[in-house]
Structure 1
Amino acid sequence: MTARPADPWAGTARLTTLADWLAFAEKAYAREPVALGQVATNAHDEALYLLLRALELPLDSDAGVLQRKLTAVERTKAETWLRRRLLDRVPAAYLTREAWLGEHRFYVDERVIIPRSYFLEIIPEQLEALLPAGKKVRHVVDVCTGSGCLAILLAHQFPGAKVDACDLSAAALEVAAINVRDHALTGRVRLFQSDVFDAVPPAKYDVILSNPPYEPSALVDTQAPEFAAEPRMAHDGGRDGLTIIRKLLRQARARLQPHGLVVIEVGGLHAAIEAEFAALHPEWLPTQDGSDCVVLFRAKNLGAT
């Protein structure tokens, strides 16, 4: 008879310091078929983040915190969160109820996709420079806003601008409202429940920004459990991933200032965008990792009115 493998979780009672728990967690991450990318791209960073949050310790704690001994209550919470993350495949951000884009913290839960976007670098580093010299950003909109994170980044970047944000999901907008309030932006950021611009009051924007659902439906069907835990409508872009993007570009014509821009994060749709929208002269913005998956369209090429 083959001996049953020892339970790798049986020895957690012997783990006394945070360093012990971190080493254990990294081995557990290597052992379990988890998917990364929602909070961190490597097991060490995600495990450390999750343990610090479980113990209610600052994320910027120095290395000395690793020698901190855990209480019995803390050990129980650390193990509970690691089991939920690694065995139940619950995304780390849904355990901690937060996500970070740069220095900005956002509340998240299962009603929204976990914030992660190349717009974290595009908004501060490139966006304003893409407009004609001397044109101030006065009115912008975030389409498919989810948690409201990109609308809030826009509001922080352009303190003199009005910011609209829309999403089809009423549940997502409940989370967005929490974040708008937490960032003290209720006077500047307006939220609309709308399928793209269908229910957004008429306005002319300097910038239309969107990180829409762009994954082809067949790909969404095969997502890892961590990504499947997020709202499907935040991922599913239809048969070829372009359903929402087509509607956005069609409706943008009547929503842009003559100098306006549409900027869209499109994931792996580079070839599809080039094939379908070549006549609109798409421009690809550089990103630090070289993926260059953010596309820009100018009002003059959309036939904006």
Structure 2
Amino acid sequence: MKIPQPPATLLELVDWAEQRLATAPLAYGHGTDNPRDEAAWLVLAGAGFAPDDPAIDPDTAVDAAAVETIGGWVQRRIEERLPTAYLTGRAWFAGLPFRVNEHVLVPRSPLAEPIAERFAPWIGERPLERILEIGTGCGCIAAACAHAFPEARVDATDIDDGALALAATNLAELGLDDRVALHRADLFDGLPRRRYDLIVSNPPYVDRAAMAALPAEYRHEPGSALGAGEDGLDVIAPLLMAAGDWLVEDGLLVVETGRAGAALTARWPRLPLTWLEFDHGGEGVFVIEADALRGHDFSADGRSG
């Protein structure tokens, strides 16, 4: 099926792209979960529109250069199984735009929802002084926290220089580089010694079996940001055991675990984790308060990490 030619409209191109994508053995999950939404993302980006642009009219005619770009992206999406965000170079998180490339995961964490709610009821309207994000990637969670907590300073870490460079670009474009400081750090190693009101992390948590079964799209993402050993806890376990020393007295730790949450509760069954529920989809995120972390004997409850 040939791509519609100018004066093709946005709607005609979305219909064409959807048909192409729907007949290919693709995996979704990098911002969309179906061919129609993926087609709309590709077409709108190729035509120069943001997905929430109020000027979008389905009957808008698309010029020849944009049609060529859209056609090339759809072909690569099918043949190379590239996530759409890597093709367009853009993704959105918590309503904010971010540049993305293969140094970073495509933003898709359910953490956007509790961040927007300021982690109520634990924090809510209580002002915060300092926030730490561990494993920032493109900077999306740190930026969302800076927006939700305008009174706070944010530190954000990563171990990948390419990710840190991209995060710096994103923070500058969002006007947040004066409040978000980037650090090359492995968990807490490499950070200035200070305590935080809130620590947030979407760390690597994919277990060995799940890594082996990942669809092709996910294999374009950095493996070091996904894989976390046999049970998915290679990063989460040391993060939990150390975080209490980096939180203020009434501080809060929030971590996304994906399906590694089951292994976590099996390892430390008496650890008082609260698992969040989401209105807009998602699971596998826990909250724990600093006093509960500091009061827990990790060596006595299950095997230590």
Q: Within 5 Å, which residues of 2 pair with 1:16-165?
A: 16-60=8-52, 65-125=57-117, 127-131=119-123, 135-165=126-156
Q: What code does the residue aligned with 2:17 have?
A: A
- How many corresponding residue pairs? 295
Deviates more, 1:167-176 or 1:121-130: 121-130
- The reply to whether residue 176 of structure 1 matches residue 176 of structure 2 is no
Distance in 1 between residues matched to 2:291 and 2:56, nearest whole Å:
57
Match of 1:3 in 2: none
Q: What code does the residue aligned with 1:287 have?
A: F
**Structure 1 residue 272: Cα displacement:** 1.6
Q: Within 5 Å, which residues of 2 pair with 1:228-239?
A: 228-239=219-230
Distance in 2 between residues matched to 1:254 and 1:56, nearest whole Å:
47
- Distance of aligned partners of 1:258 and 1:14 in 2 relative to their CA distance in 1, 3 Å threshold: closer
- Distance of aligned partners of 1:304 and 1:208 in 2 relative to their CA distance in 1, 3 Å threshold: farther
- Distance of aligned partners of 1:296 and 1:76 in 2 relative to their CA distance in 1, 3 Å threshold: same
Q: What code does the residue aligned with 2:100 have?
A: V
Q: Is the 8 A contact 2:154 2:181 kept in 1?
A: yes
- Distance of aligned partners of 1:58 and 1:135 in 2 relative to their CA distance in 1, 3 Å threshold: closer
Q: Is the 8 A contact 2:137 2:164 kept in 1?
A: yes
Q: Is the 8 A contact 2:185 2:191 kept in 1?
A: yes
Query: Which of 188, 201, 224 lines up with 1:197 in the alignment?
Result: 188
Q: What code does the residue aligned with 2:15 have?
A: A
Distance in 2 between residues matched to 1:294 and 1:120, nearest whole Å:
11
Q: What code does the residue aligned with 1:204 have?
A: R
Match of 1:279 in 2: 270
SS in 1 for 2:258: coil
Q: Give the RMSD, CA atoms, in angstroms.
A: 2.2
Q: What code does the residue aligned with 1:129 have?
A: P
Q: Is the 8 A contact 1:208 1:261 kept in 2?
A: yes
**Structure 1 residue 13: Cα displacement:** 5.6
Q: Is the 8 A contact 2:49 2:56 kept in 1?
A: no
**Structure 1 residue 97: Cα displacement:** 1.0
Percent of matched pairs sharing the same residue: 35
Distance in 1 between residues matched to 2:283 and 2:3, nearest whole Å:
43
Q: What code does the residue aligned with 1:211 have?
A: N
1:131-167 Cα deviation digits (max 9, x unpaired)? 4x88531111001111111111111111111111111
Match of 2:233 in 1: 242
SS in 1 for 2:166: helix
SS in 1 for 2:253: strand
After TM superposition, the score normalised by the length of structure 1 is: 0.90
SS in 2 for 1:280: coil
Match of 1:5 in 2: none
Aligned structure 1 segments of 4 or more residues deviating by more than 6 angstroms: none
Distance in 2 between residues matched to 1:156 and 1:88, nearest whole Å:
35
- Distance of aligned partners of 1:157 and 1:58 in 2 relative to their CA distance in 1, 3 Å threshold: closer
Q: Which runs of 5+ in 2 are unaligned?
A: 297-305
Q: What code does the residue aligned with 1:191 have?
A: L
- Distance of aligned partners of 1:44 and 1:184 in 2 relative to their CA distance in 1, 3 Å threshold: same
Query: Which of 294, 297, 302 lines up with 2:285 in the alignment?
Result: 294
SS in 1 for 2:121: helix
Q: Which runs of 5+ in 1 are unaligned?
A: 1-7
Distance in 2 between residues matched to 1:129 and 1:189, nearest whole Å:
24
Deviates more, 1:266-275 or 1:285-294: 285-294
SS in 1 for 2:189: coil
- Distance of aligned partners of 1:57 and 1:144 in 2 relative to their CA distance in 1, 3 Å threshold: closer
Query: Which of 195, 198, 206 lines up with 1:207 in the alignment?
Result: 198
1:270-295 Cα deviation digits (max 9, x unpaired)? 32222122232111111125653110
Q: Which has the higher helix share?
A: 1
SS in 1 for 2:221: coil
Q: What code does the residue aligned with 1:242 have?
A: L
**Structure 1 residue 58: Cα displacement:** 4.5
Deviates more, 1:282-291 or 1:178-187: 282-291
Deviates more, 1:275-284 or 1:46-55: 275-284
Q: What code does the residue aligned with 1:275 have?
A: A
